[in-house]
Amino acid sequence: MKVALIGSGGIGAVHAQMATNCGLTIAACGDTIEEKANALAQRFGTEATTDCEALIQRDDIDIVAVATPTPTHAHYVIKAAQAGKAIFCEKPFCRTLEQCEAALEAVETAGVKLFIAHVVRYFHEFEALKAQIEAGQVGKPGFVKCYRGGIYPMGENGWFRDYAQSGGVTLDSSVHDFDWVRYVFGDPERVYCQALQRPEPLDYALTTFRMKSGIIAHVIGTWAHPTGFRVKVEVCGDNGMVTFDSNEAPLEVMKRATEGSGPSMIVPGSPVAVSPYQREWEDFIAWLRKERPPRVTPEDGAWSLRMALGALESAASGEPVTF
């Protein structure tokens, strides 16, 4: 199968490599910035173009991979759907709910397959967390805390600095954890968010969800670190807790102490032989080949967007938002 890559920046390069690893062919690298398209095309021995819409329409294209800035996702998804192509789209799905609804309608009308790249579901550590929770290792979960962040991303032409485009750390980064929390614990009921967004490189948000199950989830997103990147997760239940910190390995499950018991046990981590980014491509391809349904559905992508936009609305109003 041949892939039209729309967006030849950093994440586009990642997806080009992952698709190639899976045996797909990058038919062309598209970008409105000619230098970026040329550089990535040279790397993968293919052609470059700045006419992304014409690339989507080509008869030899099977898959359109959308790796452009967030506000343009809906446009290219709709064009790809109208051209009858399978679609792999970076997260977040869209910038607005109106864009999301239009994209979903186009995909449904065309009867094509759309995959939203919520890659955290494919990270081994997060799979292990989910497995421990489902195995009852923490008992009945009641509280979840996620932390994700690092330095402020400069982005292509600095578009991350424009919160109207990027949605800041809440929409671009915390959306990973919003998706994972819903994936593991079900739909949210309401959200409350406090956020600090400044024109200079500084963005921090604390989002609290009450899930319909009664679980409370805190999600901290930050683009305020002086350097580096860190991810932390803590899930507490009535029988114990499970934690993960990217600065510490491996995953640690701490059982609530009883007389004569040890304080904790370690779930050994395994070396990552295959990138989570490749694993999501493998899942997408298996879906295209009708081998199994995907781990992420278009509706999942829409829900994570809804959660992020609800958080931003709450931060702006100072009031909780009900879904």
Q: pLDDT at position 267, please?
A: 27
Q: pLDDT at position 265, please?
A: 29
Q: Are 66 and 76 spatial neighbours (Cβ–Cβ below 8 Å)?
A: yes
Cα-only R_g, the chain: 20
Q: pLDDT at position 253, please?
A: 55
Q: CA-CA distances (angstroms) from residue 50 to 10, 29, 73, 86, 246?
A: 17, 9, 16, 21, 38
Q: pLDDT at position 255, please?
A: 53
Which residues of the chain are under the pLDDT cut of 70?
Answer: 155-157, 199-200, 249-272
Give CATH for domain 120-272+297-322: 3.30.360.10
Structure token digits, residue 67: 């790796």
Residues of the chain with CATH 3.40.50.720: 2-117
Q: pLDDT at position 262, please?
A: 35
Structure token digits, residue 323: 């879904």
CATH of 2-117, one of 3.30.2090.10, 3.40.50.720, 3.40.190.170, 2.40.160.10: 3.40.50.720
Q: CA-CA distances (angstroms) from residue 18 to 69, 297, 315?
A: 19, 20, 36
**What pTM did the predictor assign?**
0.91
Residues of the chain with CATH 3.30.360.10: 120-272+297-322
